[in-house]
């Protein structure tokens, strides 16, 4: 089989490619079947290139804005929607936010508190401890602060969402960095955008002064970087480094019988991978009823529920984006197109009358006007969504709009059909009234004014 045939078969296995190919075939078939009408529509639009161009640009800009907003909402909906299988659970402290549990909980929670035959054991697990620090304690700024997820390095590949979306090159670099982190606990991986903000690069060493872990300073070496995008502002450290630093601190205070304030509450989250909803229900009951976790008590919830609780602080913002901003933009798009088409219809009333004299039915005249608006809307929307997809994902590395622990949002492939759909529907809505006016043009009235 040739490489071209293999590429075609691979493309046909992708639902989005199938949908795009189907739409393309329909558009080509429609253009062939209605060639004369399409040619007439294009000529009509060419009569006033400036107006057509401005209408198309306005449509493209508004589609661009909606694509950015919908991409954020699409991702947030995705992470807060329950999965039917292969989903994750989060274990946190029951009564406090942020969650703070003894690090001793980690090993037993990783096993789902399984103690009897038949108990559910998670397929995989990951613990998170949060270490926030600054590389300039004398002058803390947003640019010199770094926030580490302290975890087992190998869990990056099996438990962190979105890592499988990395390019092969980035994935190989990450695997090499993980190997180095396991050999040397001082080595860390930091996101590309965070490195740029700190004016640092791979290979440099940093002294990070603890902010939430007062009096604990860590010297790290940057061994790798996350590509721009979802993890562009993130940083990962071997959890053993933080825990060993805590032990060293407590040993120094042993004579005064003191301990670091976070000694018994440095574990923040435990992620557990489970096969299905039934296993989750059993696991949740198993953990929450265990006598191992009484002080403090813990709760087990699905990852989507846990993320939703983190997003509570952004509830009003998300609601406003979904139900106020997007509808306002859609109405604006419709008005822009309605205004342009209305002007065109008023200027061409005589032409409409001539078409009717030549045998065009009112429905055909209306169809020509709708066709002009749809062509501008669909083409403008398509170019906008395709350009947005490439520019935001490939050039910018995602939409830089930090919400909770999501610093950036990629444009999904579904956006490639959002643009034509948005442009087409708003064009239809905006041009319907002007098209009705064109349909109702009376030949006698028009020619009586001319005479």
pLDDT digit string (tens) for 158-181?
999 889 888 899 999 999 999 999
> Which two tokens mark 152?
């087992």
Chain-centre distance for alpha carbon 149:
20
> Per-residue pLDDT averaged across 356-379, rounded?
91
On whether residue 121 sits in a domain, the answer given is yes
Residues 155 and 182 sit within 8 Å (Cβ to Cβ): no
Does the pLDDT at position 310 exceed 80? no
Does the pLDDT at position 26 exceed 50? yes
Q: What is the pLDDT of residue 352?
A: 87
Does the pLDDT at position 15 exceed 60? no
Do 343 and 288 fall into the same domain? no
Residues 6 or more apart whose CB falls under 8 angstroms from that of 273 comprise 86, 87, 88, 122, 123, 124, 125, 158, 159
Please state, rounded to an integer, the average pLDDT across all residues of the chain.
87
* DSSP-derived 3-state class of residue 121: coil
Do 42 and 141 fall into the same domain? no
Domain hosting residue 194, numbered range: 96-296
Do 167 and 192 fall into the same domain? yes
Do 65 and 125 fall into the same domain? no
Do 224 and 372 fall into the same domain? no
Q: What is the pLDDT of residue 16?
A: 53
Does the pLDDT at position 447 exceed 50? yes
On whether residue 26 sits in a domain, the answer given is no
Does the pLDDT at position 5 exceed 60? no
Do 287 and 410 fall into the same domain? no
Does the pLDDT at position 4 exceed 80? no
Residues 70 and 415 sit within 8 Å (Cβ to Cβ): yes
Do 191 and 230 fall into the same domain? yes
Instruction: Tell me which residue of 41, 7, 6, 25 sits closest to 435, measured CA to CA.
Output: 41
Do 274 and 359 fall into the same domain? no
Within a 10 A sphere around the Cβ of 46, how many other Cβ atoms?
A: 9
Residues 393 and 411 sit within 8 Å (Cβ to Cβ): yes
**354 compared with 32, residue with greater pLDDT:** 354
Do 118 and 70 fall into the same domain? no
On whether residue 49 sits in a domain, the answer given is yes
Crossing angle of the two packed helices 49-79 and 415-439, in degrees rounded to 10: 140
- Tell me the sheet residues that pair with 93: 298
Share of residues in the chain with pLDDT > 70 (%): 90
Do 274 and 321 fall into the same domain? no
Q: How confident is the model at residue 409 (pLDDT cuts 50, 70, 90)?
A: confident
Q: What is the pLDDT of residue 451?
A: 54
Do 412 and 384 fall into the same domain? yes
> Per-residue pLDDT averaged across 353-362, rounded?
89
Listed in order, strand segments (DSSP E) in 268-343 are 269-276, 298-302
Q: What is the pLDDT of residue 17?
A: 55
Asked which of 121-130, 281-290, 342-351 is least confident by mean pLDDT, the reply is 342-351
Q: What is the pLDDT of residue 86?
A: 59
> Per-residue pLDDT averaged across 98-107, rounded?
94
Q: What is the pLDDT of residue 268?
A: 96
Distance CA 128, CA 234 (A): 13
Number of separate domains in the chain: 2
Asked which of 24-28, 227-231, 275-279 is least confident by mean pLDDT, the reply is 24-28
> Per-residue pLDDT averaged across 397-417, rounded?
83
Q: What is the pLDDT of residue 11?
A: 40
> Per-residue pLDDT averaged across 218-233, rounded?
92
On whether residue 12 sits in a domain, the answer given is no
Its pTM stands at 0.74
Residues 125 and 272 sit within 8 Å (Cβ to Cβ): yes
On whether residue 302 sits in a domain, the answer given is no
On whether residue 10 sits in a domain, the answer given is no
On whether residue 18 sits in a domain, the answer given is no
On whether residue 48 sits in a domain, the answer given is yes
Do 156 and 124 fall into the same domain? yes
pLDDT tens track for 186-213: 999 999 999 999 999 999 999 999 999 9
> Per-residue pLDDT averaged across 395-408, rounded?
79
- CA distance readout (Å), 205 to 142, 188, 190, 200, 280: 19, 10, 12, 9, 42
Does the pLDDT at position 264 exceed 80? yes
């Amino acid at each position: 089989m040739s490489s071209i045939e293999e590429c075609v078969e691979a493309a046909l296995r992708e639902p989005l490619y199938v949908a795009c190919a189907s739409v393309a075939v329909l558009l080509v078939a429609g253009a062939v079947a209605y060639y004369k009408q399409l040619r007439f529509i294009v000529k009509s639009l060419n009569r006033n290139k400036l107006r057509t161009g401005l209408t198309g640009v306005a449509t493209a800009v508004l589609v661009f804005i909606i694509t950015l907003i919908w991409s954020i909402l699409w991702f947030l909906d995705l992470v807060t929607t329950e999965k039917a299988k292969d989903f994750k659970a989060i274990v946190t402290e029951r009564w406090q936010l942020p969650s703070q549990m003894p690090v001793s909980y980690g090993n037993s929670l990783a096993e789902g508190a399984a103690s009897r035959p038949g108990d559910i054991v998670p397929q995989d697990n990951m613990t998170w401890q949060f270490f926030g620090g600054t590389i300039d304690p004398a002058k803390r700024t947003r640019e010199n602060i770094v926030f580490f997820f302290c975890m087992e390095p190998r869990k990056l590949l099996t438990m962190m969402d979105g890592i499988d979306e990395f390019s092969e090159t980035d994935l190989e670099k990450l695997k090499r960095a993980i190997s180095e982190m396991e050999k040397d606990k001082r080595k860390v991986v930091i996101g590309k955008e965070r490195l740029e903000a700190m004016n640092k690069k791979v290979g440099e060493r940093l002294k990070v002064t603890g902010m939430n872990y007062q009096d604990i300073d860590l010297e790290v070496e940057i061994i790798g970087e996350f590509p721009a995008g979802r993890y562009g502002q993130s940083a990962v450290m071997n959890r053993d480094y933080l825990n060993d630093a805590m032990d060293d601190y407590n040993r120094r205070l042993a004579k005064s019988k003191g301990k670091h304030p976070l000694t018994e509450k440095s574990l923040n989250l435990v992620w557990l991978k489970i096969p299905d909803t039934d296993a989750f229900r059993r696991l949740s009951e198993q953990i929450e009823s265990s006598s191992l976790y009484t002080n403090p008590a813990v709760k087990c919830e699905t990852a989507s529920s846990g993320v939703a609780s983190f997003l509570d602080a952004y509830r009003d913002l998300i609601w406003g984006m979904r139900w106020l901003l997007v509808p306002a933009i859609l109405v604006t798009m419709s008005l822009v197109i309605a205004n342009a088409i209305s002007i065109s219809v008023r200027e061409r009333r005589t032409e409409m009358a001539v078409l009717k004299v030549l045998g065009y039915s009112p429905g055909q005249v209306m169809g020509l006007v709708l066709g002009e608006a749809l062509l501008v809307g669909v083409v403008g929307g398509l170019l906008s969504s395709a350009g947005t997809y490439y520019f935001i994902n490939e050039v910018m590395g995602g939409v830089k709009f930090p919400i909770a622990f999501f610093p950036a949002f990629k444009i999904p492939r579904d956006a490639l059909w959002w643009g034509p759909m948005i442009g087409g529907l708003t064009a239809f809505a905006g041009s319907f009234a002007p098209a009705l006016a064109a349909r109702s043009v009376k030949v006698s009235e028009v020619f009586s004014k001319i005479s």
